[in-house]
Chain A
Amino acid sequence: MEEEKLIEEAKNGDRTALSQLVKRYEQTVYNFAFKVCRDKDKAENTMQETFLSMVKSLNQFSGKSKLSTWLYTVVSNHCLMQARSNARFKFASLDDEDTGINESEIVDWDIAPDKLTENEELKKHLDNAIQNLNPEYRIVFLLRDIEDLSTEETAKITGLSIAAVKSRLHRARAFLRNELNEYVKNERN
């Protein structure tokens, strides 16, 4: 059934339609929450909170944007709130970081992304690298590069200007790439 119709029926009290919406989006929401939080328990909790919020506020959903955009917004806000409350953890500051390239540090990467599931050590490095990235930048990177949302959609979800999204995306990509470059270099030696 079309999403618009499902939403309309759920708004009218059809619980089967509501259940279908949950089923349709639970994987996307959980996977995105995990990518932001990097913790399966926190991601599950975020998924539950997100759908509770959806059930509670569905009547206020105007349908002007996609339901997925609205869900991404709820997950992002929830994860940002969690990160801010955990003030003990200090993230690398990227606001004035020079994202220039040290040409002597450039090595040829020889990694097959489709073999990732077999490589626990690489997964650990991916977790560490993105955990060191400020969540405000992490969310932009995940929405634009991983979830393939447009710059405009990302700006709407995060409340940032288009220029700020582009700038944060650039810095986040460079930061993650530089963090992983250390792993690649060590693997080659």
Chain B
Amino acid sequence: MKETNKNCSDVINHICENLGEDNNSPNCIALKEHLNNCPNCQSYLKSLKLTINLYKNYNVKVTDSMHNKLVEILELTDCR
């Protein structure tokens, strides 16, 4: 397979498995060329990034009562 003729699956697999690869390597240059011209890969990558961002934004907070209960369990109530 020519480096410049990768399909979408190859591109994504390569990106995901080789994070940290030298940006100027022939593989990376071929990937960038493909990505720049492939709407499918761009959409797929966008959806992967959004998946990560959605989970990053889904947070829960420790309430005061939870904190107080924890401090009690640890017998640190006099150190508040």
Contact = CB atoms under 8 A, between A and B. Distances in A.
B36 interface: no
A100 to B, nearest CB: 4
Chain B interface mostly: helix
A35 interface: yes
Nearest to A167: B17
A177 B12 CA distance: 13
A137 interface: no
Interface residues of A, number: 53
A145 B80 contact: no
A169 interface: yes
Contacts of B17: 166-167, 170
Interface string B8-31: 110011001101100000000000
Given A26-B67, A103-B40, A40 B60 contact: yes
11 contacts: A15-B78, A19-B71, A30-B60, A40-B60, A51-B74, A106-B8, A106-B47, A108-B46, A145-B55, A177-B48, A180-B47
Interface of B: 8-9, 12-13, 16-17, 19-20, 40, 43-44, 46-48, 50-62, 66-67, 69-71, 73-74, 76, 78-80
